[in-house]
Amino acid sequence: MLSEKNNFTLALFALCGLAVAHSYAAEIPDPPPYHWTQFVHVEGQPEPVPVEWVATPEGKFAHSIKIPNPVPKDSGYRKGMTSEQYFEHLCKTEAGEFIYKTVDNVEGFYFMRPPNRPTDDDLKDRYKLEDPYTERFYQLRADKLPDRPAQFINPPFNLYKYVEEPRRNVSWQAHLTTPYIRAQGYEFDSKAWKVISEMKVEGIDSPTSRYGYIWRGLKRKQDREHAIAGSELIVLDLRNKEVMALLRNYAISPRVRNTPDGIWWLNALSCPQFPRTYQDNLGQQIYQFVSKVLKPVQVNK
């Protein structure tokens, strides 16, 4: 057994270790706030957008899409508006779900722009993320099989048979060399309540889907300065680039004291016309929106 002297010495070492660790943690500064410095005109929006938004082929394509009901050049912002007043105005005049065309018996589609998983630092930053309300969902969902594709393939609730994506540098796609992937094969017996076949992923040379889903940030005058971020989710027919549906939303971050920029997008609120249950489960909102347009075949037994 240890003597009282040894016990005291060990306790002293432990307290010193905690003090050193706390001191070291306190010395690690938060990263400086991000800033947009360059903007570019795009076909899909009236306002120039940050060059970071179109730095990838998927981002460039997303912002080239012309929708049937684009937002006007004048956002309605007036000097002296509070953040809450501006947010309420944008929600009332611009936000909503707009469905122009639907199609039945869709087995799957091309998820054209899967987001990277944001970090806590990203979610604390006013400008870093293009569409923080949408992108925050992907921090809460593990970027692995079957979690990521289960957003769309998870019988008996989410009923597509497959989803195609550009291949990314993540672990569950690391064994593939093709430019695109297809996740598929997940089947569930709802009567016996058991999995019939597990999710699998395979490499493909190019997407085969006729329909696609993509997201993009929406830039409005003085929006991020007021802790507001815009979002557009788009479903389209890839054969002729026809826009089939649009979900436009705005998010407002609460004011927080313990982040460098006073921002915490993980707790952002969306426009009030969307159900609160969607705010608590954004993945379900995305699935419900897409499945209203691309109505899936019933793959559950």
Could you report the per-residue pLDDT of 119-141, keeping only the tens digit for each?
999 999 999 999 999 999 998 88
CA distance 108 to 99: 19
How far, in Å, CA of 161 to CA of 29, rounded?
Answer: 46
pLDDT at 15: 41
The answer, yes or no, to whether residue 178 has pLDDT greater than 60, is yes
**What pLDDT does residue 248 have?**
97
Confidence at residue 28, expressed as pLDDT on a 0 to 100 scale:
57
Strand duo 162-166 + 180-184: pairing: antiparallel
Of residues 19, 114, 118, the one with CA closest to residue 59: 114
DSSP calls for 64-97: TPPPSSPPPS-----TT--HHHHHHHHHHHT-EE
Phi-psi region of 105 (alpha: psi -120 to 50; beta: other; left: phi over 0): left
Nearest one of 140, 181, 178, 187 to 163, comparing CA atoms: 181
Q: Which residue has the higher pLDDT, 263 or 159?
A: 263
**Would you say 99 and 106 are in contact if contact means Cβ atoms under 8 Å apart?**
no
Specify the pLDDT at position 29.
64
Q: Whole-prediction pTM value?
A: 0.86
